[in-house]
Amino acid sequence: MRMTRVAGTFAGIAIAALALAGCNSGSPTSPGGDGDADGGDALWEVATDVSLEGSPTFDRASEADEIVIGVKSDQPGLGYEDAVSGERSGFDIEIARWIAASLGFDEEQITFETIPSANREQELVNGNIDYYVGTYSMTDARDEVIDFAGPYFITGQGLLVAADDDSISGPEDLADKVTCSVTGSTPLQRIRDEYNGEVTERQTYSECVEQLLSGQVDAITTDEAILAGYVAEDPDNLKLTGSPFSEERYGVGIADGDTVLKDHINTLFTDGGDVWTALFEEYLEPSGVEATQPEVD
Ligand code: GLU
């Protein structure tokens, strides 16, 4: 029931976004971003004659004539898949499409795989995906097994509570509460390591939202940019509380050692400030997220 409402509400936003994005139809002639529906130019072209000598990932994708990208599917504004149309949208999804286009892959050659937080490193290590774009914080522990391009976005850990709950204004107030977060995520680890209170974990944040709306948990903790997307869906029932209490630097997860691909993506980000701003304004600013484009490492 609630999921239907979430999907339905977002469909409205998605349709507006699609109108702006030249329908994002998957046609190679209408790449993602701000397309021709409003008379503007497409944000990017699909590159031709790309050569990325020394990138095993690029070689594999070229050979397969397909690029496989790991993403999220339940994070409105970031990585979202419409349950009815199957349309993927959000800031992370467009970043993923932009990278694919820069490598010469059009929409028809992209396969999106929904992969939860806990499985990201393993899917990259196994070579099941070519790269991952989904609220993926660059951490030293993850860097041991994979590499990151970026950062392309910075947010911080926050708290989501019921709109009528005034008893929580920071992580210190969670001692006698039940908080939901996601397996394998940095916010789950931090709330366990540094604060008191009961913590319950799920595979996805939308499962946590279900639990909060039905009163089974008191709070959800993860990155504010993710939580703001849920609030935008359901502002009558949900609100952000307190201030961010970490720095989460989002990177693109790639195979360990593929420095050629890493450099390619970092150059794309560095040279693509206009694209970044257009995507931010379209997908994240509407839910009240504030950010500027970070410099890549
Ligand atoms: N950015 C955090 C992380 O990478 C939380 C969001 C997520 O689970 O994707 O763990």
Q: What is the DSSP letter of 150?
A: E
> Which pLDDT tens digits describe the chain residue by residue (297 residues)?
233 333 333 333 333 343 333 333 333 333 444 433 344 679 999 999 999 999 999 999 999 999 999 999 999 999 999 999 999 999 999 999 999 999 999 999 999 999 999 999 999 999 999 999 999 999 999 999 999 999 999 999 999 999 999 999 999 999 999 999 999 999 999 999 999 999 999 999 999 999 999 999 999 999 999 999 999 999 999 999 999 999 999 999 999 999 999 999 999 999 999 999 999 999 999 999 999 999 999
Q: What atom of ligand 1 comes closest to residue 117's alpha carbon? A: 8
The finding on whether 185 has its CB within 6 A of some atom of ligand 1 is yes
The residue among 189, 229, 193 whose CA lies nearest residue 209 is 229
Q: Do residues 80 and 17 touch, judged by C-beta distance below 8 A?
A: no
The finding on whether 136 has its CB within 6 A of some atom of ligand 1 is yes
Q: Do residues 69 and 133 touch, judged by C-beta distance below 8 A?
A: yes
3-state secondary structure 18-42: HHHCHHHCCCCCCCCCCCCCCCCCC
Class of domain 16-154+248-287: alpha beta
Q: Bridge partners of 223?
A: 157
pTM: 0.88
The finding on whether 173 has its CB within 6 A of some atom of ligand 1 is no
User: How many angstroms does the Cα of residue 72 sit away from the middle of ligand 1?
Assistant: 10
User: How many angstroms does the Cα of residue 135 sit away from the middle of ligand 1?
Assistant: 5
What lies within 8 Å, CB to CB, of 261 at 6+ separation is 52, 55, 57, 58, 131, 149, 254, 255
The residue among 251, 226, 283, 276 whose CA lies nearest residue 91 is 283
CATH fold group of domain 157-241: D-Maltodextrin-Binding Protein; domain 2 (3.40.190)
The finding on whether 224 has its CB within 6 A of some atom of ligand 1 is no
Pocket test for ligand 1, best of 153, 223, 245 (most atoms within 8 A of CB): 223
The finding on whether 233 has its CB within 6 A of some atom of ligand 1 is no
Q: What atom of ligand 1 comes closest to residue 226's alpha carbon? A: 6
The finding on whether 148 has its CB within 6 A of some atom of ligand 1 is no
The finding on whether 119 has its CB within 6 A of some atom of ligand 1 is no
| Model pLDDT, residue 13 | 38
User: How many angstroms does the Cα of residue 286 sit away from the middle of ligand 1?
Assistant: 21
The finding on whether 117 has its CB within 6 A of some atom of ligand 1 is yes
| Model pLDDT, residue 40 | 60
Could you tell me the residue ranges of all domains in the chain?
16-154+248-287, 157-241
Topology match between the domains 16-154+248-287 and 157-241 = yes
